[in-house]
Amino acid sequence: MRNIYDYTLDELAREFAPSYRAKQIYGWLYHRYIDDFDAMSNVSKELRAALKETFTTQCVKILKVEHSVDGSKKYLFGTQDGHSYEAVLLQMREEQSGEGGEKQSEARYTICLSSQIGCRVGCAFCCTGKGGFVRNLSAGEIVAQVVHIKRDNGFAPQKGLNIVFMGMGEPLDNFDNVVRAIGILASKDGLSIAPRRQTISTSGIAPRIEQLGRLNLGVQLALSLHAVNDALRSRLVPMNRSYNIREVLDVLRRFPIDSRKRLLFEYIMIKDVNDDLQSAKELLRLLNGFKAKVNLILFNPHEGSGFARPSAESVRKFQEFLLSRGLLCTLRKSLGLDISAACGQLREKNV
């Protein structure tokens, strides 16, 4: 049976004319998070029967939820073909209340989505690729992560969320399905998560970055840089052997970005590998001319990695140097570390 979460609103409208029927279905799926066709009470019996014969809403299911002390949650999803993948709900800010207990602002969340089961890239510091590559996720299996997480947390349909394709897999290695998922997530009749609130993180597949740029979807882009010379980057990020630093940066210079936004460069800091002041100086030189923001990420340990976290002093010197030279640079807090939900720690698991 076909996965209904794979379908855009226009595609459903072609299946079930007139178009208002598709909007009704989309409302049940994405505003009420209903996955039982029989419960769609304003849909005719004939249409419900046709939906049950043709489509399934059970492409994935939640196998396990782990809770972090920082408010983050890690979700293990099971697929119909017996595999699993993880996604993470990150609490970026707690709900703010006034002195009288009145709510001043809501909590802010980001969902870290996976695009593949496993990963082909095989970054040396990342746990995901250790189990090898299994397969791409379909667009519907990507979208379903958001639906399940919103339902599980009781989020209102209109609640603003940010999406980052920074979970398992290389998003641009699953280009067509990720692009389709971006469109479905952005549909105003569905989840209504605008492209500007969606970020794709890539290890640097230069032709795919160029292709994504030509589509001009309005999404944000983050490059997993992690090293300032090709010798080290090829060791840490094998993709660099195919598309080196200069080639990837040349493509990024042509990538369309919102005038209010910046290109993101992710830099995992590893003790005695890339955390020295000379690396900071080279990073500044590499990014000269970019409207850039650097996210420093402390290496997150996992079994068999052979790497270690840098000292607080080396991180402070690295960040202060970049800031003093006018390069916007933030230190990303490793949320979900206690449940192995931080950057580089996700992988396929058995329950």
> Per the residue annotation, which of 126, 127, 329, 343 is the catalytic one?
343
Please give the full DSSP string across 165-230, using - where no structure is assigned: E-SSS-GGGGHHHHHHHHHHHH-TTTT---GGGEEEEES--HHHHHHHHHHT---EEEEE---SSH
- Cα–Cα distances (Å) from 62 to 18, 75, 147, 152, in that order, read 34, 7, 11, 10
> Per the residue annotation, which of 59, 86, 126, 141 is the catalytic one?
86
Task: Establish whether 86 is a catalytic residue.
Answer: yes
Q: Which residues pair with 74 in a beta bridge?
A: 66, 88
Neighbours of 147 (CB within 10 A): 21
d(CA 36, CA 45): 13
- How do strand 108-112 and strand 198-202 relate by DSSP bridges? unpaired
Task: Establish whether 343 is a catalytic residue.
Answer: yes
Tokens of 185: 């997530």
* Whether 237 contacts 228, CB under 8 Å: no
Which is it for the CA torsion 49, 54, 56, 57, positive or negative? Answer: negative
* Whether 238 contacts 272, CB under 8 Å: no
Q: Three-state SS for 136?
A: strand
d(CA 325, CA 284): 8
- At residue 136, φ and ψ (nearest 5 deg) are -75, 150
Residue recorded with tokens 């640079």: 329
Q: Which residues are catalytic?
A: 86, 343
